[in-house]
Amino acid sequence: MSKTSILAFGAHPDDVELNAGGLMALTSARGERTVICHLTRGEMGTRGTPETREQEARAAAKTLGVSELEFLGQPDGWIEESEAAKRRLVTVLRRHRPSLVLAPYWSDLHPDHATTGALVRKAAFLSGLARIDDGLAPWRPARVLYYMSHDPIPADLVVDISSVFETKRAAALCYRSQFHDPDSTEPETFISRSDFWDFWEGRASWWGHFVGVRYGEGYFADGPIPTRNPVEIFQGFGKYKNADPEEGE
Ligand SMILES: [Zn+2]
């Protein structure tokens, strides 16, 4: 199997697309291998069925250009930090051998998001231990980056997703059962309200604002960010402005 650049974990189908879809689209567009792993099928969701959400997840992954999609079959609403769940994640990590892993930040309003973040954090370490024998070679990703779900996170990395923002939106909109539909007779939820998209786009503008781009995605890097060239990292980005980066300060 070719090398995987990014393996993104989400608790529910739509978590990765809504919160990290920009980075997935950017990476896929460069021709690199990307994988999404949904821990549950979203079967506790107020709207839609597991079957419709699985179809929607496949359409969303295709829109982002993701190479492979997996469902881990954990129970929606009741994801637990069990040994069995960690072993499942270790096997997924070893199978794909990703450079980077994405996961929800480990403190969040929704317990499944928080638990998924904590599970992935531990599994990414355990995956490197040779004594955990599942028949696959040990593998430890270079880093796990954590994305924001409901609650704000202490992001220390902002990815400029301006060029793929509409792709990200199109991928999220594949989850038609979850979002605003004036003809739907299902109960209303926060994300099915018509003003949800204002909040969602506002968040991308808000992250972008800190580095001087139209749209951004914030990540918590969980430790110092390594580089041999800090000039290159910051080149073309302004702070607290939406100016043309070429024009400088
Ligand atoms: Zn979720």
Amino acid 52: pLDDT: 87
- Whether the full predicted model's pTM is greater than 0.85, yes or no, is yes
Per-residue pLDDT of the chain (249 residues; tens, 9 = 90+): 579 999 999 999 999 999 999 999 999 999 999 999 999 998 887 777 888 889 999 999 999 999 999 999 999 999 999 999 999 999 999 999 999 999 999 999 999 999 999 999 999 999 999 999 999 999 999 999 999 999 999 999 999 999 999 999 999 999 988 877 777 777 777 777 878 899 999 999 999 999 999 999 999 999 999 999 999 999 889 875 555 555 544
Cα(149) to ligand 1 centroid in Å equals 7
Cα(79) to ligand 1 centroid in Å equals 11
Cα(14) to ligand 1 centroid in Å equals 7
Residue 4, strand partner residues: 33, 98
Amino acid 26: pLDDT: 98
The residue extents of the domains of the chain are: 4-181+216-228
Cα(179) to ligand 1 centroid in Å equals 13
Cα(244) to ligand 1 centroid in Å equals 35
Cα(247) to ligand 1 centroid in Å equals 40
Cα(12) to ligand 1 centroid in Å equals 5
Cα(163) to ligand 1 centroid in Å equals 25
CATH of domain 4-181+216-228: 3.40.50.10320
Cα(104) to ligand 1 centroid in Å equals 9
Amino acid 249: pLDDT: 46
Cα(29) to ligand 1 centroid in Å equals 25
Amino acid 45: pLDDT: 77
Cα(177) to ligand 1 centroid in Å equals 14
Cα(130) to ligand 1 centroid in Å equals 32
Cα(113) to ligand 1 centroid in Å equals 6
Amino acid 47: pLDDT: 75
